[in-house]
Structures are given as C-alpha cells and as structure tokens.
Amino acid sequence: MFGNLMGKLQEVQQKAEEAKAALASARYSCETDDSQAAAVVDGNGRLVSLHLHEELLAKGAEEVQAVVLRVVTAAQTDAATASAEAMKSAAKSLLPGGFPGL
C-alpha cells in the first residue's frame, strides 16, 4: 500500500515539475486598449518584455507608473491563474478524486 502511495506521490511531483517547466516557457501578455503599453510575463509571472509608446511617456511619471502597474499586474494574474490550473490538473489526473477542496 505505502509503496503504491509513494509511487503516486513521486508521479505527482514529476507531473508538477513538468507543469512548472512548461509554464516557465509560456508567455502571458496584457496591452492597453490604445496600445500605448504592453507587458509580457513568463509562466512564473516574471516580466520578460515591456513596451511603452512615446505618447504615454510624454504624459508624465505618475501616469506611466499607473499604466505599467496595470498591464504588468494583469499579465501576472493571467500567469498565476494558468499556473494554478496546471497544478490542479496535474494533481487531479494522478489522484483518485484529486484533492478535496481544489
């Protein structure tokens, strides 16, 4: 019984590592409606690209900060959602009934 359980736990851990690796190479982005700012993050939520249009930069530091924060946060939220879903999917596919409450 415990041997089977340990094997399942190792399989869950391997699937989780595979999901993490896939997420690290994934890209999630957010762009303002007027295309003046865009952010791209990896699956871990790390910023990998930021585009700011000259018109936005001319609006001043406070406006630029607010827009950058908004697009980066939105992209990171998408990455976090995808990460949580991937981990939940990995767990459910390997354990009967998945994890209660997930």
Q: Does 62 reside within a domain?
A: yes
Q: Tell whether the model's pLDDT for residue 10 goes beyond 90.
A: no
Q: What is the CATH number of the domain that holds 36?
A: 3.30.1310.10
Query: What pLDDT score does 40 carry?
Result: 98
Q: 3-state secondary structure string, the chain?
A: CHHHHHHHHHHHHHHHHHHHHHHHHCEEEEECCCCCEEEEEECCCCEEEEEECHHHHCCCHHHHHHHHHHHHHHHHHHHHHHHHHHHHHHHHHHCCCCCCCC
Reported as a pLDDT band with limits 50, 70 and 90, residue 75 is very high
Query: What pLDDT score does 100 carry?
Result: 56
Q: Does 99 reside within a domain?
A: no
> What pTM was estimated for this model as a whole?
0.75
Q: Does 43 reside within a domain?
A: yes
Query: What pLDDT score does 8 carry?
Result: 75
- Total domains in the chain come to 1
Q: What is the per-residue pLDDT across 17-70, written as a single tens digit (0 to 9) for each?
A: 887 788 888 999 999 999 999 999 999 899 999 999 999 999 999 999 999 999
Q: Does 41 reside within a domain?
A: yes
Instruction: Show the domain range for 27.
Output: 2-94
